Amino acid sequence: MTMLDLTIAEALDALAAKRISAVELTEAHIGAVEALNPRLNAFITTTPDIARDRAKAADAARAAGNAPALAGIPLAIKDLFCTEGVRTTAASKILAPFIPPYESTVTARLKAAGSVMLGKANLDEFAMGSSNITSGFGPVENPWQRADGAKLVPGGSSGGSASAVAARIALGATGTDTGGSIRQPASFCGIAGIKPTYGRCSRFGIVAFASSLDQAGSMARTVEDCAILLGAMSGFDEKDSTSADRPVPDFRAACARGVKGLRIGIPAEYRVDGMAPEIEKLWQSGIDWLKRAGADIIDVSLPHTQYGLPVYYIVAPAEASSNLARYDGVRFGARVDGEDLIDLYERTRAAGFGAEVKRRVMIGTYVLSAGYYDAYYLRAQKVRALILRDFTEAFAKIDALLTPTAPSAAFAIGEKMDDPVTMYLNDVFTVPASLAGVPAMSIPAGQDARGLPLGLQVIGRHFDEETVFAVSSAIERAAGFTALPGLRAGATP
């Protein structure tokens, strides 16, 4: 065991006890990034100089007795968070030259908490994807390996973050989740990840994909680590009108609460046709673990679940088509000159956007068009309200829901690539919570027959991340997930 295997909680203890220094911890991670990133492609940009500066500052603060909460903790920052003076690409060629003159609220908070930024993590272009193959900077590889030797996807869109944390080249990471972009890659890479309630973290400075769904969250190797990170990321921000002006509870403390007496709902509609037996089995294990820990298991119905995907694939592209209009080559980012203004737009966007982004911009433009708006966008909004109502009604009877995170384990790069709709099905279990804005977390809970990790999902009430952490911790303890990916820092390949 090396410093790279520490959890954030353990690292904070070791730093506090001066058994290790932030500089040592950071150097170990910089070395691991240098060794593994050429293979994993988890980072688009690495920032070793910034990391070293911050590590020194963290050690100095600790020596002076005023170390902030995350002093010296090396993190991967999804390259969707704008970082002042550090290139921020959203994994799109159109932003390849973009260096923001400002810092996102979430990363500003993590910086103020003393954390160490190792670099900007790869993702699907503009966070649109479930496999990280849509990145304009090349796909990310999942550190877990299959016997057939095929390179596996880490999931998406926060695939770089998940891969980095799983491969032990970062202690934790930020992610963003629009329809499952934290939870699905966490499940594919065998780590924990939480999408908090919409409004819990400020969206200021996060490159927007679908504004009514985008939410930042944390990814780490334990539930407690996710709680520690999320605590530092959360809170009201007057620069984001949709951020919630309410106190941030002690998420870390909630992890130890236990589940005795909690009512856990099992939604019938998540038992989809053709679900892999091992996923079905894992779900049953989760139910048994919680029952044994003292929770009451209640069957519930979320009747509009089947409409989640179609609604999501109307609402998210609609908002994206508008949010991405600003990438026009006029003020920042890449530009391809043209004969006139329209030609400049067309050439710039044709060259700058990848196929999946173009597809969603076109879908979004279509569903908002005159004559189609009522049939698509308006109807989708109505169904979205029904999906929210499903959750509200269920949460009158239960405290949290337990479901699988994804319908499969990680697949290989190249698989499921022919038909975008097959790819969209990855989000079937994660999308409803996004549409409802409720918090949801994926916990590594087991492995499939080929040894690949599988996750379970816990969904809670609006602004009740505490219960989500309590239930997730109980599953984590019972599951005893200790398997390690083949590709990881310190492992002999």
**CB atoms near residue 414 (< 10 Å):** 13
The residue annotated as part of the active site, out of 115, 135, 157, 161, is: 157
Q: Can residue 45 be called a binding residue for other proteins (CB under 8 A)? A: no
Spell out where 184-272 has E strands. Answer: 192-195, 215-220, 263-267
Q: Say which of 78, 93, 111, 195 is annotated catalytic.
A: 78
| Residue number with CB closer to other proteins (124 or 399) | 124
- CA dist., res. 346 & res. 58, Å (int): 47
User: Which residue of 273, 331, 337, 419 would you call a contact of other proteins, by CB under 8 A?
Assistant: 331
Site for other proteins in 203-242 (CB under 8 A): 203-208, 210-212, 238-242
Bridge partners (DSSP) of residue 215 are 177
How far is the C-alpha of 288 from the C-alpha of 266, rounded, in Å?
A: 12
104 binds other proteins (CB under 8 A): yes
**What are the backbone dihedrals phi and psi of residue 440, each rounded to the nearest 5 degrees, phi first?**
-150, 145
Minimum distance from CB of 277 to other proteins (Å)?
40
Question: What is the CB neighbour count within 10 angstroms for residue 358?
Answer: 15
Find tokens 């992610």 and name the residue. Answer: 175
DSSP 403: E
Longest dimension (CA), the chain: 70
Residues in the chain: 493
CB 315 within 8 A of CB 381: yes
The least CB distance from residue 109 to other proteins, in Å, is 15
**Is the bond preceding residue 442 a cis peptide, omega within 30 degrees?**
no
Least distance in Å: CB of 316 to other proteins?
11
Show the binding pattern over residues 53-72: x = contacts other proteins (CB under 8 A), - = does not.
Answer: --------------------
Please identify which residue in 25, 44, 67, 82 interacts with other proteins, judged by CB under 8 A.
82
Asked if 404 touches other proteins (CB under 8 A), the answer is no
Nearest distance from C-beta of residue 245 to other proteins, angstroms: 11
Which 3 state secondary structure label does DSSP give 304? coil
Block residue for tokens 């697949």: 411
Judged by CB, which is closer to other proteins: 324, or 443? 324
Establish how many alpha carbons lie within 13 A of residue 324's alpha carbon, considering only the half-sphere containing its beta carbon.
33
How far apart (Å, rounded) are the C-alpha atoms in residues 152 and 487? 11
Beta carbon of residue 362, minimum distance to other proteins (angstroms, whole number): 12
- The three-point CA angle 215-22-181 to 5° equals 20
Q: Which is nearer to other proteins, 95 or 454 (CB)?
A: 95
Residue 157 annotated among the catalytic residues of the structure: yes
120 binds other proteins (CB under 8 A): no
Find the shortest distance in angstroms from Cβ 359 to other proteins.
17
Report the residue from 61, 98, 338, 417 that binds other proteins according to the rule CB under 8 A: 98
Q: Which phi and psi angles does 220 have, rounded to 5°?
A: -160, 180
Angle at the Cα of 463 from the Cα atoms of 127 and 88, rounded to 5 degrees: 25
Q: Which is nearer to other proteins, 134 or 348 (CB)?
A: 348
- Under the binding rule (CB under 8 A), the answer on residue 102 touching other proteins is yes
Please confirm, yes or no, whether 181 is among the known catalytic residues.
Answer: yes
Least distance (Å) from other proteins to the CB of residue 328? Answer: 7
Question: Is the CB of residue 453 less than 8 Å from the CB of residue 131?
Answer: no
Contact with other proteins (CB under 8 A) among 108, 169, 182, 368:
368
| Residue closer to other proteins (CB basis): 108 or 441 | 108
**Sign of CA pseudo-dihedral 246, 247, 252, 257:** negative
Position 246 contacts other proteins (CB under 8 A): no
Q: Is 408 a catalytic residue?
A: no
Which residues in 286-325 contact other proteins (CB under 8 A)? 318-319, 321-322, 324-325
Two structure tokens written together for 33: 């990034």
Whether 205 and 109 have beta carbons less than 8 Å apart is answered as no
Closest CB 161 distance from other proteins, rounded Å: 17
Q: Output 241 or 492, the one with its CB closest to other proteins.
A: 241
Q: In this chain, which stretch among 65-73, 96-104, 290-298, 428-436 interacts with other proteins, using CB under 8 A?
A: 96-104
Contacting residues toward other proteins, per CB under 8 A: 81-82, 88, 90, 95, 98, 100-102, 104, 203-208, 210-212, 238-242, 318-319, 321-322, 324-326, 328, 330-332, 341-342, 345, 365, 368-370, 373, 377
Annotated active-site positions, please?
78, 157, 181
